[in-house]
Amino acid sequence: MAHKVFLLFLVFTSLLAIVTVALNGFGYYVTPTHMRQFREDFEMMKPSGNYSHGLGIVGASMIIIGVSGYSTRKRVKTFWTLGKLSRWLEIHIFLCLLGPVLVLFHTTFKAGGVAAISLWTMLSVSASGIIGRFLYAQIPKNLQGNELTAAQITGELDRLSVKLSSSPIGDQLTRTIYKSFESLPKPKSIWEAIATFVKLASLRRAIRRQARAMIAAKVHSHQEAHELQVTATAFASLIQKSLVLNQAGKLFYYWHAIHLPFTVIMFITLAAHVTVTMLLGYRWIF
C-alpha cells in the first residue's frame, strides 16, 4: 500500500510539473522562432532567460542526481543497506524522465551546436530506458532487488510449489499454471524471445484471471484467497521469467552496452555546453 502511494506520488508530481510548465510557456513555444524576439516574455523565456535557463539547470541536476544516486546505491557496498535497489530504480526513472522533459522546455524546442548532441543523446537514453525497464522486469530478483542465480530460482520455484500444494485448490492451481506454460516452447533465439515476450504478456493476464476465478469458486476466506492469489501469481511470474531468462539476460546486456556509452556522450557534451555558455557570460540568477 505504502509503495502504491509512493508510486502515485511520483506519477502525480511528474504530470503536475509537465502540465504546469507546458501551460505556462504554451504561447511562447507555439510562436515561430523568428517571431519570438517580439514577444514581451522573450527575455524571460529564451533558453538563456531566467525561466528557461532555470529549467535547464533543474532538469540537468535531476538527471545527474538520478544517475549518480542509483549507480552509487548499486555499486558501493556501504550503501547496500540503504533501501531496496528497486525503489532506487524507481527514483532513477522518475528523475531521469522528468529531468529530460524539463530540459526539453529549457531548449524552447530549438537546438543547435554541441547542445543539440547533448539533447539528442539525452532523449535517446531516456527513451531507451523504457525498453531497459521492461527487460529488467524479466530478470528474477529477490526482495532486495538483487538478481537470483539459477539455483536460487529453482529453490524459489520449489518453495512456492510446496506452499501451493498444501491445499487441494493450490495443487489444482499449480497444475493449471504448468499446463498454461507448456503450450509455449522455450525460445531459442533473441527474435523468438521477443515474440515470446508478447505472447507471455497476454498469457500472464489469462492465468491471473483463471486463478482468480478458480479461487473465488472454491475459497471463501478472504485471507486465504488473497494468500493463494499472491503465491500463484509469484509462481506463474517466476516460471514465465525462467522461460526467457537466457534471452532476456542477453538483451539486457546489449541494452546496457548502448545505454552506458550514450550516457557518457550526453554528460561530456553537457559539460561542453555548460562551459561554453559560462564562457559566453551566461550566469542565471547568480
Count, residues near ligand HEM per rule CB under 6 A: 45
d(CA 154, CA 190): 23
**Taking contact as CB under 6 A, which single stretch among the options 35-43, 204-212, 241-249, 274-282 is the one that binds ligand HEM?**
274-282
**Taking contact as CB under 6 A, which single stretch among the options 15-23, 109-117, 152-160, 221-229 is the one that binds ligand HEM?**
109-117
Backbone φ and ψ for 162, nearest 5 degrees, come out as -65, -40
Contacts of 245 (CB under 8 A, 6+ apart): 138, 139, 140, 153
Q: Quick one: 226 or 283, whose CB is closer to ligand HEM?
A: 283
d(CA 69, CA 60): 14
DSSP 189: S
By CB under 6 A, name the one of 21, 98, 101, 103 that touches ligand HEM.
103
Q: Quick one: 230 or 264, whose CB is closer to ligand HEM?
A: 264
Q: Quick one: 24 or 277, whose CB is closer to ligand HEM?
A: 277
Terminal Cα-to-Cα distance of the chain (whole angstroms): 43
By CB under 6 A, name the one of 21, 31, 62, 126 that touches ligand HEM.
126
Phi-psi group of 108: left, alpha or beta (phi > 0 → left; psi -120 to 50 → alpha; rest → beta): left
Residues 193-212 that bind ligand HEM (CB under 6 A): none
**Residue 36: CB minimum distance to ligand HEM, A:** 11
**Residue 23: CB minimum distance to ligand HEM, A:** 21
Q: Quick one: 129 or 187, whose CB is closer to ligand HEM?
A: 129
By CB under 6 A, name the one of 62, 97, 177, 236 that touches ligand HEM.
97
By CB under 6 A, name the one of 21, 115, 200, 211 that touches ligand HEM.
115
DSSP 244: S
What distances in angstroms separate CA 177 from CA 97, 164, 182, 233, one per listed residue? Answer: 36, 11, 9, 9
By CB under 6 A, name the one of 100, 140, 170, 187 that touches ligand HEM.
100
d(CA 61, CA 135): 27
d(CA 178, CA 163): 15
As given in the structure block, the three cell numbers for residue 26 are 504554451
Under the criterion CB under 6 A, does residue 48 sit at the interface with ligand HEM? yes
**Are 91 and 62 spatial neighbours (Cβ–Cβ below 8 Å)?**
no
Q: Which residues of the chain form contacts with ligand HEM (CB under 6 A)?
A: 47-48, 53, 56-57, 60, 63, 67, 70-71, 74-75, 89, 92-93, 96-97, 100, 103, 106-107, 110-112, 115-116, 118-119, 122, 125-126, 129-130, 132-133, 136, 259-260, 263, 266, 270, 273-274, 277, 282
